Chain A
Amino acid sequence: MKGGKRPIVEIENISKYYHRDSQTLAVLEQITFTIEEGEFFTLMGPSGSGKSTLLNLIAGIDKVDGGTIKVGGVDISMLSETQLARWRAAHVGFIFQFYNLIPVLTAFENIELPLLLTALPRRKRREHVDAALNLVNLAGRMDHYPGQLSGGEQQRVAIARAIITDPTIVVADEPTGDLDRVSAEDVLDLLDRLNRELGKTIIMVTHDPRAAAKAHVVRHLEKGVLL
């Protein structure tokens, strides 16, 4: 394991249930583990195993039914919706399988979006976005709309958007799931660079063994239980 310093994510006995009609379905049961700062952590498992749910819980976009999740020392299971929104803005960068860029905004504007929630002046925001665009090697496409970019380019824009606020953790849900092999490789290399060169803690969910090969730690989830 590379770069492990201190636990950045501490998960203790968390459970998550879904309710459908009168039935209660356990998605995650008594999960406990930690992720260390600067780690490239990957969760693998079959469809329906609960890995995306676990990622959502760590990213603070879903709530646990039991147990606690601490990220950077903050127990996010205790935060209200509004507090969670503020916390996500400052501490989480999210990379989606289908990029989820805003179609009416240019690449530059999509990357700038999270910075609108900060107090940064326009000039500073511009500097940050330029740096992020250079990092993902898309400076020449900054004025292009998502519809004018390839899948791989869109995902790189999404990565730039995820890291623009310098978050505590970067979570990625199947980031190569919608990409061809070459683009997927580019995206994985980029995530690897973010981890190695910038020390970003990356938590990734994937089906793809090649993606998992980039990670320092790979854990498997099956039927809601961490193996």
Chain B
Amino acid sequence: MFPLKLVVKNAFRRKVRTFLTILSIAIALLAFGLLQTLVNSWYAGANSASSYRLVTRNAISLAFSLPISYKDKISQIDGVQEVTYGDWFGGIYIEEKNFFPNFAVEPRGYLKLYDYLIPPEQSASFLRDRRAALAGCKLRDRFGWKVGDSITLKGTIFPGTWEFMLAGFYQAGVNDIDETQFFFHWDYLNETIRETMPHRADQVDFYLIGVKSPDLATKVSLAVDKTFKNSLAETLTETEKSFQLSFLAMSDAIIKAVQLVSLVVIFIIMAVAANTMIMSVRERTAEYAVFKTLGFGPWPIMVLILGESLIIAMTGCALGIALTIPVKNAIARALSDYLPIFILNTKIFLYYAIASVLVGITAAIIPAWRAAKVPIAEELGRIP
């Protein structure tokens, strides 16, 4: 269609300028998409939290522990289906740069509460041996571990050298599960520290509670905390999601700043695109005067400019989409140790399209208005 051809030809009349504008739109969208993916990955733990699970910790702070004796009392509360517990171990594998989260957990209850995919023989091996450990499959890929390997962690919170037999690997049953964690038996930890640091024995950092129905979560939370009211270690029970979000709240300002930057990026590309359109229209003012002489009214002229602006913005959008997937994959590979879950939400491409349409329209408003108002006689008088 000829008018469309005119719009496309106008858009690419200054090839270098148009290419640079398209590139800047694509890169800005890419930055927006990656920053949004970063924010999403930050919240991935909270998103994967089940409404069937509650976390109970010391009411003062997570730095304080709870007695192991609470388990039986919690198990007797109405609505509770499963109770397990654990400690943040914080061990180092060979050297600090090899960081991965590691926990001492009560394994039977833990595996019942989480949807991990584990080969049955590996799961059985993990449960059978007190020195057994279970690792996420990303750790296997990262360190080249095999089932049966002996893994040594250097204790930081619990001093000493800790040896484990790698019983198996788990995979995520759902997308947002972190596959870089390492679990071993809490009993193994407790037996050892009972000998070396008896005052720290029989204590856990947290209880994980599986409720029979999500509707019972509030009732069970209140009942647990009521049970231990006025005890030496009062509890704070909340849903797993609230627990995760309370962690994230510590870095809330950073996340907000990242989100703000991703929006600022969009405003910057609006300015870049608007600048291109203003320059293009200014160069062609005389042509618009000719169009008006031929009888084109303000609207067709505005549509021509709007179309040109949208073509530039949408080409930038297409390039942005094309760049996002490989760049995201490269970043995910490079940062897999620090951001185990870096999954692109395909909805981001819808945001790209919306942002590009907004950029296209916004950038065209002022130049289109100016072109529509070109005084014909004055502009023709300037030619050439």
Contact = CB atoms under 8 A, between A and B. Distances in A.
Contacts of B13: 104
A183 interface: no
B286 A114 contact: no
Contacts of B291: 113
Interface string B4-40: 0110011001000000000000000000000000000
A117 interface: yes
30 contacts: A52-B381, A53-B377, A56-B377, A61-B292, A61-B293, A61-B376, A61-B380, A62-B376, A81-B297, A81-B298, A82-B297, A85-B292, A85-B295, A85-B297, A86-B297, A89-B294, A89-B296, A96-B290, A96-B383, A97-B383, A100-B286, A100-B287, A102-B290, A104-B6, A104-B9, A104-B13, A109-B5, A112-B2, A116-B2, A117-B295
A94 B294 contact: yes
B1 to A, nearest CB: 9
B295 A109 contact: no
A100 B295 CA distance: 14
A89 B295 contact: yes
Given A61-B376, A102-B287, A104-B13, A117 B296 contact: yes
Contacts of A56: 376-377, 380
A104 B2 contact: no
Interface string A89-105: 11010101110101011
Contacts of A96: 290, 380, 383
Nearest to B12: A104
A98 B384 contact: yes
A96 B287 CA distance: 12
A113 B5 CA distance: 12
A89 B290 CA distance: 12
B144 interface: no
Nearest to A55: B377
A113 B376 contact: no
B6 A105 contact: yes
Interface string B330-344: 000000000000000
A109 B2 contact: yes
B380 A102 contact: no
Interface string A107-119: 0010011101100
A116 B5 CA distance: 13
